[in-house]
Structure 1
Amino acid sequence: MSRDPLIALRPREAPEVTSWGRLPMNAVRRPGAVSLDGDWRFRLPPAREGALQVDCRVRDADGALPARWYVTGEPEGHLLARDAESDRVNAEEERERPEPYGLTVRLHRADGTVADTSHHRVGFRDVEIAGRDLLNGSDHGAHHDGERTRPLIQCEYSHAMGNSNGTPADHWAIEATPGLQGGFIREFWDHGILQRVSNGRPAGRADAGLYDNAVAAPGHRWAYGGDFGETIHDGAFIADGVVFPDRTPQPVLYEHRELTAPVRIECFRHEGIVLSNHQRFRGLDWLSGEWELSLADGRTLSAPAELPDLRPGETAAVPLPFAVPRDGGEAWLTLRVSTAEDVPWAARGTEVCVPRIRLLGPAVLEDVPADRSVEVDGEGLLIHPLLTAAPALSLWRAPTDDELGGMAQRRRAGGLDSLVRKVVSVRRDGGRVTVHAEYAWTVGVVRHRQVFTPVAGGVRVDEEAELSWGSPLVERSRELGGEFEDVARVGTVFGTAPGLELLEWFGQGPWASYPDRSAGAPGHHSVLVDELFTSCLRPQASGGRHGVRRFTLSAPDATGLAVVLDEPRQVSVTRHRAQDPAAASHHGELVPLPGCVVHIDAEHRGLGTASLGPDTSPRYRIPPGVHRWSRTLRVL
């Protein structure tokens, strides 16, 4: 049967070989392209010491590859969890049942170099992979040797559904990859429909004034699948965008703005700050700038910036605009770049980007011990005049849209949302108190230690948590739907007294940020507590701030709580417990608490974009082991 071959373009080469049956958005048809139609048979015979060998041969693949091209397979070095489907297939075939392995398939050119790679999960000795599925790890098919003749546009490298779009910097390869012309985030405008709660009808064209900063007015909500009485729907799935339904920018839009900034700070050298023009076709005359120096001691200095005359791709050094104070601690220099005049898409003064560079590292600050005692209750929980809930261990966050599948189910089944604390010991040493506790969850016990030390003006809290979900707990974790790979966070949660309305912090911001989505400029930021929580279409974990060094929560009369962290941490301050968004389907169902719920995390898992894209990178996941973090609490 004649088949119309497809060709999918790659950045560095013009491809000539492609898998069959898939037409990526960036693919074009071209007569004469070679299809990979055919059956590929891999045999995994046992070898010495229980290892596997791979014997690969092509069967019924008449002319499937160019001359002297060949395919190899290699099993991964680690076992993969067996699933029900694998067991069913093996039972039907009456084959022996080895543990499933990862199989890496490589397509080689005639000279032995690798043209393309894909990864497969196999659970039996004989593996048959159709040619059209050979390269399932690639959206582009294989490619041949030769000069590139056409550009590549990534059809989708990130998915903006809910609190998502983790690791955009890791996937932003447009400037560094020859032939890669651009790419798309799925997608621009969130599809929520403004709905009247009273009758379930869309608000229609008369909806002006019924929302503000992505928040629907009382009596209204942003509706999604199932909210109009339909029984077949996808809920909030694919209701996504880098702007909210009212066109308010989501945090990821600011992140993307920094990744694509026309002006960058490359480095700081003896001759000054090195700036670069990353545009392709124009200079910097349409932009203006202002320097801002943020010091850890609370000071912020500013000065006008004269941008150099740089053609596209050029760099130049400009003098350092400040004499950096040596007594101010950590110092960050930010260049605030904005439009110098009205342009078709923005008014004069619209901020375009905020590149930054650190000039001084953090100073080592020692707390001065105080001659008094720290007060704890009978369970070893801290008693503090501004806390309504004592600091406790937290390992869970409300699932994001990308986590609603197996990841969230495993965490909930593991009991991460309902840890059971048992105090083991409370020991006093002068004014210092050391508390050992255990937090039980379904697959194990987390050992937790808190040391409360009185210091001048407050109390220092040093914490340590030991996580483990390895053998012999691994069998129990498999019963929960797969092996536990990581948790959402390792940190502290506590509640504050009512009346604290303003959060001020030194760190990245002002928009929400996470370990794998953190391109914001460190500096001094101030946001009302009620405005910190990001109003995603469906309530979920959101509103965190990454890289926070210190923060204050204050009342209108400037009284409140000051917190100094041992190193930059992930911090979240909201009016809701972590369990509250998970139990709600719309923001109108959330009842704000009178006080604040504060999370300070030693480790916080990245967001990734796993519902329709890659999960977060391994370096943004939380492995088992011992985690330590500290902070000092003071009353303002």
Structure 2
Amino acid sequence: MMDSEDAFGYVESYRPGRGRRPARASFASSLPSLELDGTWRFRLAHGLSDLTPGFEAAEFEAAGPEAADDAAARGWTDLPVPSLWQLHGHGSPAYTNIVYPFPVDPPRVPDANPTGEYRRAFEVPADFPLGPGATLRFEGVDSCFAVWLNGIALGDGKGSRLPTEFDVSHALRVGPNVLAVRVHQWSAGSYLEDQDMWWLSGIFRSVRILTRGIEDFFVHADYDAETGTGTLRVDTPHAATLSVPELGLEHADPAGPHVLAGVEPWSDETPRLYQAELVADGERVPLRIGFRSVAVESGRILANGRPITFRGVNRHEWHPRTGRTLDRATMLEDVLMMKRHNVNAVRTSHYPPHSEFLELCDTYGLWVIDECDLETHGFERVGWRGNPSADPAWREAYLDRAQRTVERDKNHPSIIMWSLGNESGVGENLAAMAEWIRTRDGSRLIHYEGDRESCAYVDVFSEMYTGFEAVKLRGLAQEAPTADSAHDAHRRALPFMLCEYAHAMGNGPGGLREYRDMFDAHPRLAGGFVWEWIDHGIERTDANGATYYAYGGDFGEEVHDGNFVADGLVFPDRTPSPGLLDYKRISEPVRVSCDTETRTLTIENRHHSRDTGYLTWAWQVEGDGVLIAQGTLDVEPIAPGSSATLPWPEQAAQQPDEPGDAVTEHWLTVSGALAKPEPWADAGHEVTWGQAPAHTPEPVASRLSPAPATSLPAHAAPATPAAIHLGNAEFDAHHGVLRKIGAIGLDGPRLDLWRATIDNDERTIYGTPLATTWRAAGLHRLHHKTLSVEPSASGLVVRERVTAAGVDHGIDATYRWAAAAAPTAGDGDETLWLTLELQPYGTWPCSLPRRGVALSLPGALDQVEWFGEGPGEAYRDTGAAVRVGRFRASVAGMQTPYVRPQENGNRRAVRWARFTGADVGGRGGNGVTGASGLEILGAPHTNLTARPWRTQALDAAQHRHELHPDGLIHLYLDDEHCGIGSAACGDPLPASEHVQPTPATFTLGFRTV
């Protein structure tokens, strides 16, 4: 081991590194390279006092833990590179959002500093060039590292998500070589990398040895939207030639400038790339050139001369098994999913992504805000004291990170903005970054959200989690003024953008449509980026073999932020969440609206530059969810920014004329799908749709509710005085609770007000979380007191009082039961109707999670068919993606697998639902003795949730594998259900989305089928 403490001074040094080559672009070349990914030898040390003496020497032998001959060499194992060592059993992951997991004492870090020692033996072939261009390139190492090749020290580096290159021309040799790398989990650089994500360490991106011929180049491809002219030049320090065959350039001077008429511009909608080649001294470098222009005019962001609105997402790099180590297939999956869900932009939160991801954005068409690897959010917890952004000692490190970001990624046409970083307070170091970037690349905008008071050095006014009303004011340029009038005037002239909004944690986000409508209404609003793309769950398996996703606190962290890391639009396995489906719907670039009164449909093209000719149009009419008619529409291409109004198809516009058809709801659905394959989806992929009633039906309640003259009397059964019969239903005589209908055993329905709290109920940055007020009111532990059970000739009336221990407020509930002697539909079974009247009493301190009833059915009835909204879940402020129709699912399939279990699975506006099972007749042991199922009727509608476990079990579970079916089907039928919102990291739930404890009456029907 090195004797001097100074040998490790680089760990706590402000400097970004020593011995590194200048930053440059990432590009492919025809010159040879050596890929060093694969199996490396690895040992994890506890800190600087636990390092292996001489491990960097070429002759060192890294033996396994069983070795007995050399104690210094013991403890080594194999580890794949790239990877993160905690995900291979070496130490543990840790998650924090803001707080540093070590004392805030910059630039010092703890003595307990896990350090990975890596060794890689490799062969250099005889024909590999060993000249001055030989370069060792690390694409990403977290967080600080030092490097030796064949025992020769090359240098050290920081900046985890940025490439680092070392000259190896003096150390590389033909034949056997040994590369040794020491990686420290904590370093001074960790103070600049406090991003909201898992703390994980290692060589997590690729390593290779390159031959440098063409050192670097910078492609400038400007586009004049008025003339359609492109201007091309390629800056490079080498004597080289440029060829772009499609544009008639062959072996041209790269510097040009080459003025080219009639070029096709690059955009997210038409990502036109011209294949090119740069040649120098026999080296060939392929280029992909996209012409485009970016500007701010009159408070709007213009791309290629036209205003754009971002329908974006924030994207961390994540895979549930490999963490931030991603392969190309995973990156491609992300890009394709984004395109298929109408996303047009990505903010690379909060660091530059793998460079291949940017290549995919170039190819398939996504605007990119490329963010620097910088966040110092933990200093907020100490009042921003000592924040590096305002400390000159950190200036070099800040500039280094900006330079390495821009230089690596400067040739990607998809990048529309450079972002200085995230949540790093204010200070001159940020201004210095912006100045350097603007000098180096004036073709893109500069973004930073954290200095929103002045916005002095940025090109957009950016905020996060701004509420509806405040966004509207910014759309009108009526935000509160800043202290400095010059800064205020500058800020009001800028476009406004939400770099983060609609926090997608757990069940949510709500309110997406409200944000979209404001973006539409106010030209200054440039759209926004939902937080975030993916849940960062770590895949784990329990003792029984069940897979679940771990989050903060599951690894014994000293400090952590729980499941706040699970806040994505896709689940860890990249299954779309209901939130992503909603976002696709409200982000449609072409919108369809169907007007029932005028029998017209309007198609609005909100594309930036593409007409609608790539879509084919289809329509269908369904009656109670059953297809009646369908066809195609002939729609002429609609130009971007324009709309067209068309008459309904003749068959859809006709009123139904068959006898008794007033009982049927007819719905028209129009959809626009890809007419032919696109690079990102197959032909037939649905891009947009609209739906409306084909005619206004008679309300369901008046169609189905029993008239008093047809009601059956309620009476006590002579043989069982503990029971009351009403038609084919049996009630408990003491409490008036329904126990059986036909042959189906039941428990309930009874008034229920609680939901398994969602993340937006449990967290807020404003005031008191909803869940806290609900629990204080005892809504999760209600008691039912039966006041009276009154059978009569007209039915059964049950009165009860519902309240919680220790409080003096509650609800008086009156259950009015009636049985229809002659049902209007079905197979002859009677229909049992419940009208529930609710009257709150006392002084209520809060709103309600939900207002409805709960009941349970035999577990065999686990197949569901319903007519209403579907196929997925929806709540009062979510569900943009659902449509009216007839749907089928198993009860298990109706569950939404949020990483932390919570309220989920509500189906909205259900007219009827049938619960059946395969071959359930005769199974007396499960409560079904001859009936095939139960139908539930809304009057006119109900919210329906069906689960194989009770709400209490769902509320108690912390991970999905903790939930186990209990043998029953638990139904929750709600008159109203509280909204979802985005309060876990945003404004409180709007008052309009609350359920207030006010008097209410609603009706439900039950019958066997």
Q: Is the 8 A contact 2:712 2:795 kept in 1?
A: no
Q: Which residue of 1 aligns with 2:900?
A: 538
Q: Distance in 1 between matches of 2:755 and 2:510?
A: 16
1:424 aligns to 2:787 (yes or no): yes
CA apart distance, 1:488: 0.2
Pair 31,238 (structure 1): closer, same or farther in 2 beyond 3 Å? closer
Shift of 1:361: 2.7
User: Would you say the 8 A contact 2:455–2:487 is kept in 1?
Assistant: no
Give the match's secondary structure for 2:514: helix
Equivalent of 1:553 in 897, 903, 915: 915
Alignment-derived partner of residue 869 in structure 2 = 508
Q: Name the counterpart of 2:168.
A: none
1:204-223 to 2 correspondence within 5 Å? Answer: 218-223=545-550
Counterpart of 1:598 in structure 2 is 971
Cα deviation code 1:42-93 (max 9, x no counterpart):
xxxxxxxxxxxxxxxxxxxxxxxxxxxxxxxxxxxxxxxxxxxxxxxxxxxx
- Larger RCO (CA within 8 A; separation ≥ 6): 1
Structure with more helix by fraction: 2
Q: Give the aligned partner of residue 606 of structure 2.
A: 278
Alignment partners' CA distance in 2, 1:548 and 1:624: 23
1:403 aligns with 2:761: yes
User: For residues 395-416 of structure 1, what are the alpha-carbon distances to aligned partners after superposition, in whole Å with 9 as ceiling and x for unaligned?
Assistant: 1001101112432133223221
- Displacement of 1:319 in angstroms is 3.1
The match for 2:731 among 343, 354, 376 is 376
Judged with a 3 Å threshold, the aligned counterparts in structure 2 of structure 1 residues 232 and 548 are, in CA distance, closer, same or farther, namely same
Counterpart of 2:878 in structure 1 is 517
1:460 aligned to which of 814, 817, 833:
833
More off after superposition, 241-250 vs 280-289: 280-289
Task: Report how far residue 433 of structure 1 moved.
Answer: 0.4
SS in structure 2 of the partner of residue 411 of structure 1: helix
State the alpha-carbon separation in 1 of the partners of residues 800 and 840 from structure 2. Answer: 13
Give the match's secondary structure for 1:116.
Answer: coil
The one-letter code of the counterpart of 1:325 is: P
Counterpart position of 1:291 = 619
Matched with 1:30 is: 456
Kindly state the Cα deviation for residue 265 of structure 1 after the two structures are TM-superposed. 1.4
Distance in 2 of aligned mates of 1:600 and 1:31: 54
Please say which of residues 488-497 and 614-623 is displaced more in the overlay: 614-623
Contact 1:277–1:283 at 8 Å: present in 2 too? Answer: yes
**Residues 343-388 of structure 1: CA deviation (Å, up to 9, x unaligned):** 1221222222331112323323143424353132111112324343
CA distance in 2, matches of 1:271, 1:498: 45
Task: Quickly say closer, same or farther: Cα 1:451–1:324, change in 2 above 3 A.
Answer: same
Describe how 1:44-83 pairs up with structure 2 within 5 A: none
Taking the TM superposition and a 5 Å limit, the aligned residue runs for 1:43-442 are 115-117=478-480, 143-144=488-489, 150-172=494-516, 173-198=518-543, 218-261=545-588, 262-268=590-596, 270=598, 272-296=600-624, 298-309=625-636, 310-312=638-640, 313-320=642-649, 321-322=651-652, 323-325=654-656, 327=661, 328-363=663-698, 364-368=702-706, 369-373=710-714, 374=726, 375-377=730-732, 378-385=734-741, 386-405=744-763, 406-441=769-804, 442=807
Q: 1:10 and 1:434 mapped to 2: Cα distance?
A: 68
- Counterpart secondary structure, 2:740: coil
Deviation at 1:10, TM superposition (A): 12
Whichever residue aligns with residue 176 of structure 1, its letter is A
CA–CA distance in 2 between the matches of 1:11 and 1:463?
57
Q: Given residue 569 of structure 2, which amino acid in structure 1 is its aligned partner?
A: V
The C-alpha deviation readout for 1:476-525, integer Å capped at 9, x for no partner, is xxxxxxxx330100111100112112211122111111011122211111
* Of 518-527 and 392-401, the range deviating more from structure 2: 518-527
Cα deviation 1:162-204 (Å, max 9, x = unaligned): 0021111112122222022221110011111111334xxxxxx
Aligned residue identity for 1:24:
E
Structure 1 576/263 Cα, relative in aligned 2: closer, same or farther at 3 Å? Answer: same
> In the alignment, is the contact (CA less than 8 A) between 1:11 and 1:177 conserved in 2?
no
2:214 matched residue in structure 1: none
Task: Tell me if structure 2 keeps the 8 A contact 1:290–1:302.
Answer: no
Q: For residues 582 and 367 of structure 1, do their structure 2 counterparts lie closer, same or farther at Cα, with a shift above 3 Å needed?
A: closer
The answer as to whether partners of 2:592 and 2:601 remain within 8 angstroms in 1 is no
Summarize deviations over 1:403-459 as a string: whole Å, max 9, x none.
124321332232211211011111122150001100112351210010110113221
- Correspondence 1:493 to 2:854: yes
2:711 touches 2:795 (CA, 8 Å); kept in 1? Answer: no
Could you say what secondary structure the match of 2:739 adopts? coil
Q: Distance in 1 between matches of 2:674 and 2:885?
A: 22
Judged with a 3 Å threshold, the aligned counterparts in structure 2 of structure 1 residues 397 and 142 are, in CA distance, closer, same or farther, namely farther
Residues 464 and 271 of structure 1, relative CA distance in 2, 3 Å threshold: closer
Which sits farther off after the overlay, 431-440 or 356-365?
Answer: 356-365
Quick one: structure 1 residues 587 and 114, their matched pair in 2 at CA, closer, same or farther if it must change by over 3 Å?
closer
| 1:159 match: secondary structure | coil
- Tell me which residue corresponds to 2:994: 621
Question: What CA distance in whole angstroms lies between the structure 2 residues aligned with 1:390 and 1:116?
Answer: 52
Q: Where does residue 17 of structure 2 map in the other structure?
A: none
Amino acid across the alignment from 2:607: Q
Matched residues in 2 for 1:515 and 1:342: separation?
36
Q: Between the two proteins, what is the percent identity of the paired residues?
A: 26
Greater displacement, 367-376 / 383-392: 367-376
Summarize the Cα distance change of 1:556–1:530 in structure 2 as closer, same or farther, 3 Å threshold: same
Post-superposition offset of 1:324: 4.1
Give secondary structure in 1 for the equivalent of 2:519: coil
SS of the aligned residue for 2:646 comes to strand
**Partners of 2:458 and 2:498 in 1: how far apart?**
24
TM-score scaled to structure 1, two decimals? 0.72
Q: Distance in 2 between matches of 1:11 and 1:571?
A: 49
The change in CA–CA distance for 1:458 and 1:225 in structure 2 (over 3 A counts) is: same
Shift of 1:301: 2.5
Is the contact made by 2:300 and 2:526 (CA closer than 8 Å) also made in structure 1?
Answer: no
Q: For residues 361 and 387 of structure 1, do their structure 2 counterparts lie closer, same or farther at Cα, with a shift above 3 Å needed? A: farther
Question: CA RMSD for the aligned pairs?
Answer: 3.2
The residue aligned with 2:42 is none
Q: What secondary structure, in the 3-state scheme, does the structure 1 residue paired with 2:953 have? A: helix
Q: Distance in 2 between matches of 1:150 and 1:565?
A: 50
Contact persistence 1:508–1:522 (CA under 8 A): yes
Q: Provide closer, same or farther for how the CA distance between residues 194 and 489 of structure 1 changes in structure 2, counting only shifts above 3 A.
A: same
Query: Cα–Cα, structure 1 residues 226 and 523, in superposed 2: closer, same or farther, change >3 Å?
Result: same
**Per the alignment, in what secondary structure is the counterpart of residue 491 of structure 1?**
strand
d(CA) in 2 for partners of 1:191, 1:423? 48
Which protein has the larger Cα radius of gyration, Structure 1 or Structure 2? 2
**Aligned 8 A contact 2:909 2:941 in 1:** yes
- Distance in 2 between residues matched to 1:252 and 1:324, nearest whole Å: 36
Amino acid at match of 1:492: V
Contact 2:855 2:971 in 1 (8 A): yes
In 1: Cα distance, 2:864 partner to 2:1004 partner: 17
In structure 2, how many angstroms separate the alpha carbons of the residues matched to 1:353 and 1:275? 10
What is the CA-CA distance between 1:463 and the residue it aligns to?
0.2
- State the AA in 1 paired with 2:814: R
